[in-house]
Amino acid sequence: MSQKIKSTTVIAVQHNDMIAIGADGQATMGNTVAKSHVKKIRKLQDGKIITGFAGSTADAFTLLERFEEKLSSFGGNMKRSAIELAKDWRMDRYLRRLEAMIILANKEGILILSGTGDVLEPDHGIAAIGSGSMYAQSAALALKKNATNLTAEEMVRESLTIAADICIYTNHNFVIESIQ
């Protein structure tokens, strides 16, 4: 992950036939909080796909628009659309300069999409991006391993809480969405 992509935490957890994605609501400009209630989670295709983004908001919206176009072109196939977007992102002169990362999820699974051409299916059904990603991912791994009575949504909330307690670029204003 590029050092430039920071200032948020987004995490997705797949657990017991549910996938949840959550993000904090903080937007920063340098070391200043610009806004504390930003919505970094979006539902696509009538809620069949949930996305979360980290990095430049305008860049992420540009990528999400392109992703929706790919979904239309490939009959809603999330994985194929993500691969095609990653190809474009890496090859196109304009897209190559965009600084964002995206987590995509549908009932089949989770993908991480980056500008380096990566389309990753994360291990253990957990994906995290942003400055607080390693804190949230570590917490989610521990929760999934040891607190199996929790739902995916509860694991996301607790993981984000831990990240927000540690990462100065992450706040406690969470948006969490899930797919059964």
Distances in Å between the alpha carbon of 158 and those of 34, 57, 90, 92? 25, 25, 34, 38
Length of the chain: 180
Contact status, residue 131 vs residue 8, Cβ threshold 8 Å: yes
Residues 6+ apart with CB under 8 A from 67: 44, 51, 81, 82, 85, 102, 104, 113
8 assigned to active site: yes
The span from the CA of 116 to the CA of 177, in Å, is 27
Euclidean distance between CA atoms 127 and 95, whole angstroms = 23
Phi-psi region of 156 (alpha: psi -120 to 50; beta: other; left: phi over 0): alpha
Exactly one of 8, 9, 51, 170 is catalytic; name it: 8
Residues marked as catalytic: 8
